[in-house]
Amino acid sequence: MLNKKYEKLLGILRETGGVAVAFSGGVDSAFLLYAAQQALGDKVLAVTVTTPYIPQWEIKEAREMAAESGVEHVVIDLPFPVEIRTNPADHCYTCKKLLFTQLWEAARERGYKYLLDGTNVDDLGDYRPGLKALAELDVMSPLKDAGLTKQDIRDLSKLYGLPTWDKPSFACLLSRMPVDEYVTDEALRRTEEAEVLLMHQGFKAVRVRSHGDIARIEIPRDQLHDFVAANEVAGIHARLKDLGYRHVTLDLGGYSMGSQNPESATAEGVNNAE
């Protein structure tokens, strides 16, 4: 069954004759880029957007992966859009519309008629207002069209030796900030530095939710005791306070997808992947 889905994906890609891939370096886009190269050879362009609310370590990894793959790679530097500075509830829609408009420009300038993103079947059940923007801009989602789930993508990535097969899912840093509050570059960098610090302590699936001068840390519940032990050894509490947080808290509920989503999304029983 998995092989049939993969063959269907390759068939979809071959029919395009050449594609530009929105490439973040995450599990989905890395696999999509690999499959596109298998189907189309050098008729593939990877396009990455960097903004103040995308972690810089992710951009670095995307650059490294693209270079290793040998694909042509374009990185677009986009300033913080004023439309989403206050982190409105629909920021994902607005952001996707702005970012993918830029990606389309880069693709068309280089002669590509198809722009692809890494949406998969599982994404359809999440709170993802950005999907509306992708549909409006005629962005293709071949992973979804081939019927591939997140687990399928991880399994195939492992099968083909992609280093991203077990990479945790991430989203932009705006998902760590309260909705409808002005977002500063300082708050974004502080959140990124805090998460990098925790990842270096072995907590790969981690979120540092920002509530003003309060850091609310989410990690999987089965790692809560590990976190307390790591704090004793590495002084996590003090190091995060050095970043500017007045209070550092550990959410006993553990990591929860979409915990900063607007209440309307929670009421509908769906979650953001974040």
Structure confidence at residue 257 (pLDDT):
63
Structure confidence at residue 259 (pLDDT):
53
DSSP 3-state percent helix, strand, coil across the chain (nearest 5) = 50, 10, 40
Query: Does the pLDDT at position 1 exceed 90?
Result: no
User: Span 58-64, mean pLDDT?
Assistant: 96
Structure confidence at residue 157 (pLDDT):
98
Query: Does the pLDDT at position 236 exceed 90?
Result: yes
Residue reference for tokens 């500063």:
184
Where are the domain boundaries for CATH 3.40.50.620 in the chain? 2-159
Query: Does the pLDDT at position 127 exceed 70?
Result: no
Structure confidence at residue 171 (pLDDT):
87
Inter-residue contact 50 to 103 (CB < 8 Å): no
Structure confidence at residue 209 (pLDDT):
96
Structure confidence at residue 269 (pLDDT):
30
Rg (CA), the chain: 19
pLDDT digits (tens, 9 = 90+) for 192-220: 999 999 999 999 999 999 999 999 999 99
pLDDT band at 258 (very low <50, low <70, confident <90, very high): low
Structure confidence at residue 268 (pLDDT):
31
Going by the DSSP 8-state scheme, the letter that residue 270 receives in this structure is: -
Query: Does the pLDDT at position 263 exceed 60?
Result: no
The structural architecture, per CATH, of the domain 2-159 is: 3-Layer(aba) Sandwich (3.40)
Return mean pLDDT, the chain.
Answer: 92
Query: Does the pLDDT at position 243 exceed 60?
Result: yes
Query: Does the pLDDT at position 262 exceed 80?
Result: no
Write the burial class of residue 232 (CB in 10 Å: 0-12 exposed, 13-18 middle, 19+ buried): exposed
pLDDT digits (tens, 9 = 90+) for 147-199: 999 999 999 999 999 999 999 988 899 999 999 999 999 999 999 999 999 99
CB atoms within 10 A of CB 223: 18
**Residues, the chain:** 274
Where are the domain boundaries for CATH 3.30.70 in the chain? 173-264
For the domain bounded by 173-264, which CATH number is listed?
A: 3.30.70
User: Span 232-250, mean pLDDT?
Assistant: 96
Cα atoms in the Cβ-side hemisphere of radius 13 Å centred on 30: 30
